[in-house]
Amino acid sequence: MDIRTKNQSRDICDRSILITGGTGSFGKAFVRAVLDHCPKVKRLVVFSRDELKQFEMQQEFPADQYPALRFFIGDVRDERRLRRALEGIDTVVHAAALKQVPAAEYNPFEFIKTNIMGAQNLIEACMDMGVKRVVALSTDKAAAPINLYGATKLCSDKLFVAANNFRGERDLRFSVVRYGNVMGSRGSVIPFFMNKAKTGVLPITDPSMTRFNISLDDGVEMVLWALEQAVGGEIFVPKIPSYRITDVAEAVGPHCKHKVIGTRPGEKLHEEMITPSDSPNTVDLGPYFAILQAAGNVHDYLQRRRATAVDPDFFYNSGSNPDFLSIEQIRSLIRMHVDPQFEPV
């Protein structure tokens, strides 16, 4: 689904955009998408900590072809550096985060400093620097979290949503996008299985496990849509398919043995994106759901937008999702989004 209309693309081209975590999987895809649509975008700033990844991106996007692209070394933990980077910026996409679940359990306060304190630093800086639109990336693990990573992202989501309450008269909107596992991103199960398949054995945490699935391209489309459509305070959730972990294993290595190793600490059997407790605040926007700040906002939101209320007992998790990918669909998506030359082992 291509939701970037001509008017939307033109509006993006007229913006000065900063993306935190801009050298990560999402960041690179976002930069590529913006530059594909408007090579002469007004300004596009990649903000991240890793100078090597910035250097590598500079080779892919040379300055003589993309004069509006800038690279800014910094950490969201450093509010003064954020303020410097945000000079002249009107649009922010916040993708910077520490994400590995086991690492969060072992190094909890490091995740708190980046994912929570970093989020608040960005909010404060955006308030003071004249930014107009902010979209922050979340995760399915932030819904009813059982691990520290999910808890820090839930807290981050709450901070961005609540920031709309004290923006005053500023023309500033904060919103969040929440989606599931990104196909082919670093550390995700598909490239992990593709590498392990060479050994002839695929480790399965639990044969019943399911996960949501979204491509990087669809994640980028969603953020671009949210930048245009958000009124502020929403947590947007896409309608995306699920997969069974055993089907991913069969798609990647049909001749491999499966070794059940058990779930890791902080890992759910099925991922959630909307809990039953969220249903009074949730509306259906067609391609997406939106979780609003409070149930009292739903009626007004339905009047302003082409939306419908969800059922009172609605919830959205990967195990009960009516849309599941087949093994052949998984293989097709791997060729489309991960490796065009992929063949099952």
Residue recorded with tokens 């000065």: 16
Q: Which amino acid is at 245?
A: I
Q: Could you tell me whether strands 91-94 and 201-204 are parallel, antiparallel, or unpaired per DSSP bridges?
A: unpaired
Residue recorded with tokens 């003064």: 80
Specify the 3-state DSSP secondary structure of 96: coil
Q: Is 37 exposed, middle or buried (0-12, 13-18, 19+ CB in 10 A)?
A: middle
Q: CB 322: neighbour CB atoms within 10 A?
A: 7
Q: How far apart are CA 89 and CA 126, in angstroms?
A: 9
256: DSSP letter:
S
Using an 8 Å Cβ cutoff, are 90 and 50 in contact?
Answer: no
Q: How far apart are CA 166 and CA 162, in angstroms?
A: 8
Q: Which amino acid is at 41?
A: V
Specify the 3-state DSSP secondary structure of 170: coil
Using an 8 Å Cβ cutoff, are 273 and 180 in contact?
Answer: yes
141 catalytically annotated: yes
Distance spanning both ends of the chain, measured CA to CA: 31
Residue of 141, 153, 196, 268 with catalytic role? 141
> Which residues have a catalytic role annotated?
141
